[in-house]
Chains A and B, each alone.
Chain A
């Protein structure tokens, strides 16, 4: 049932949940401001925007539908290879590549979705891990298409919208990735606040009860899994197009593990978790790698353990306290 058919008081209450919070507006304005304020960091910011989109895709299934995945890189990799191959052999137009990559990943998501509909979290972890490993091995085996261990080289992207050339400093890349991230975020935001999104959370909270209330569990989970795959595919396309390179690394397990880590850092189930987590993860990675290039993964791992064991509550409490002290951020609702 569409929200527009609901009586005023109830519809108003639902609209309140969809209303933009000042902190959200501030977040996106800041993402634009850094384009001008940090011109030397645009390549890093581009990586953050792509990782944020990848994490947003995982949040759609993990945060809203409760589907855990350790093989999300399969969709990222599919998107990256489709965008790369399209640019090499068919058209260098970035937007066509983006749409084609999303569609291919969505198709892969749709085909594999029946595998994640049954079983518990452990089953899903193993199944998604298996899908990720299969895709990696498939890409490795099809080296005459994918370039194998050497990857796809010599990708030259056309100008964005026929006007903006991809430059070495990441100006076009960041603006492109941020724009795609924002548009897909808007769509995701609309979806999670719709009755469809509510039904996903109902399934996550209590699958049997939701089913007995007439929610088509399998159909909804397959739909959101496919959507999530499309988002991950878009992230893969951005990665391929803005770096002009695709290798087996995009399908590697560490991609799936990293994005899970990012989402845990930011907190699943509120859309901004992936975005905030990717900022924290990339800056931490950049900072610690600069300090100790050989052991940065050790420190990231240690921080993650401390964070999960209690630091998350302290950090989130601190952020809430900070927001409470800023009057501008008090209007509206938490996103």
Chain B
């Protein structure tokens, strides 16, 4: 399987503060990666470094053979990075359809396919972004990243703050994206066990460094390993 992402010696942060130290990781096409760690260890900063909004000190980021380290965020999106931010950041004055068409790029993912993935959104397609529930906003945030037709999808805590029934619906959609559609993705998630069931590989961050890399299925089988690093059971 061809390599999609290669990060080498990445150190990055905000302003004078360095949050990530010497990060190395790689991801093959069609694979999904869970990014785990306690609060404040640099998970979101790593995602932010991929989209280009951190101050990068050292290292390179290569996506599909192209060095995107020096690219601006909009150029990284064009290069194939789709981002679902933690805060969702729906364009509140645009309708659901307009949120999708404002950013869409040519490719297999169209608003119609997004509506097929999230039928709930199709029912709300004429509603403004600020008229949606938290779960619908999250579906729209994922849909908006998908219509960019990205090579790599980055999801930052996609189920945070959502009702259990919505979480289940979202996880089903993510499973379809990863398993059936073969979309490459990196996911930050607090529900460790649930995301391990969906992803191929996992890395764990501690104090801005990668301290564990393993296959997700192995970690599911050995919860004690994960517990050592996360300080909690993989429930």
Contact = CB atoms under 8 A, between A and B. Distances in A.
Contacts of A205: 91-94, 129
A192 B220 CA distance: 51
Interface stretch (A6-14, A75-83, A134-142, A239-247): A6-14
A17 B127 CA distance: 12
Interface stretch (A28-36, A97-105, A214-222): A214-222
A81 B91 CA distance: 40
B224 to A, nearest CB: 38
Interface in A13-44: 13-14, 16-17
A13 B96 CA distance: 10
Nearest to B110: A7
B17 interface: no
Contact of A213 (B52, B103, B110, B111): B103
Contacts of A208: 53, 73, 89
Interface string B72-88: 11101110000101000
B102 A195 contact: yes
Contacts of B91: 201-202, 205-206, 209-210
Interface string B101-114: 11111100011100
Interface residues of B, number: 37
Nearest to B92: A205
A224 to B, nearest CB: 14
Contact of B77 (A199, A204, A212): A212
A17 B98 contact: yes
Interface string A227-265: 000000000000000000000000000000000000000
B74 A212 contact: yes
B112 A10 contact: yes
Contacts of B115: 9-10
B74 A214 contact: yes
Nearest to A209: B89
B85 to A, nearest CB: 7
A163 interface: no
B94 A198 contact: yes
B199 to A, nearest CB: 22
Contact of A1 (B53, B77, B83, B105): B105
Given A7-B110, A212-B74, A214-B78, A201 B102 contact: yes
Interface residues of A, number: 30
B102 A202 contact: yes
Given A6-B111, A13-B125, A217-B74, A212 B93 contact: no
B62 to A, nearest CB: 19
Contacts of A198: 94, 98, 101-102
Nearest to A197: B102
Contact of A195 (B51, B92, B93, B101): B101
A308 to B, nearest CB: 20
A211 interface: yes
B142 to A, nearest CB: 13
Contacts of B106: 1, 5
Nearest to B78: A214
B97 interface: yes
A14 B97 contact: yes
Nearest to B102: A198
A213 B93 contact: no
A13 B145 CA distance: 20
B190 interface: no
A17 B95 contact: yes
Query: Max chain A CB contacts within 10 Å: which of B112, B144, B145?
Result: B112
A205 B103 CA distance: 13
B126 interface: yes
A24 B144 CA distance: 32
B92 to A, nearest CB: 6
Contacts of A199: 102-103
B126 A16 contact: yes
Pick the 6 closest A-B CB pairs, nearest first.
A214-B77, A198-B102, A213-B103, A209-B89, A205-B91, A7-B112
Given A211-B73, A213-B102, A215-B103, 19 more contacts: A1-B105, A6-B111, A10-B97, A10-B111, A13-B97, A14-B97, A14-B101, A198-B94, A198-B101, A201-B93, A202-B103, A205-B91, A205-B92, A211-B72, A212-B51, A212-B76, A212-B83, A214-B103, A269-B93
Interface of B: 51-53, 72-74, 76-78, 83, 85, 89, 91-95, 97-106, 110-112, 115, 125-126, 129, 144-145, 148
20 contacts: A1-B101, A1-B106, A6-B110, A10-B112, A13-B125, A17-B98, A195-B101, A198-B101, A201-B91, A201-B93, A205-B94, A206-B89, A206-B91, A208-B53, A210-B102, A211-B72, A213-B83, A213-B144, A214-B77, A215-B74
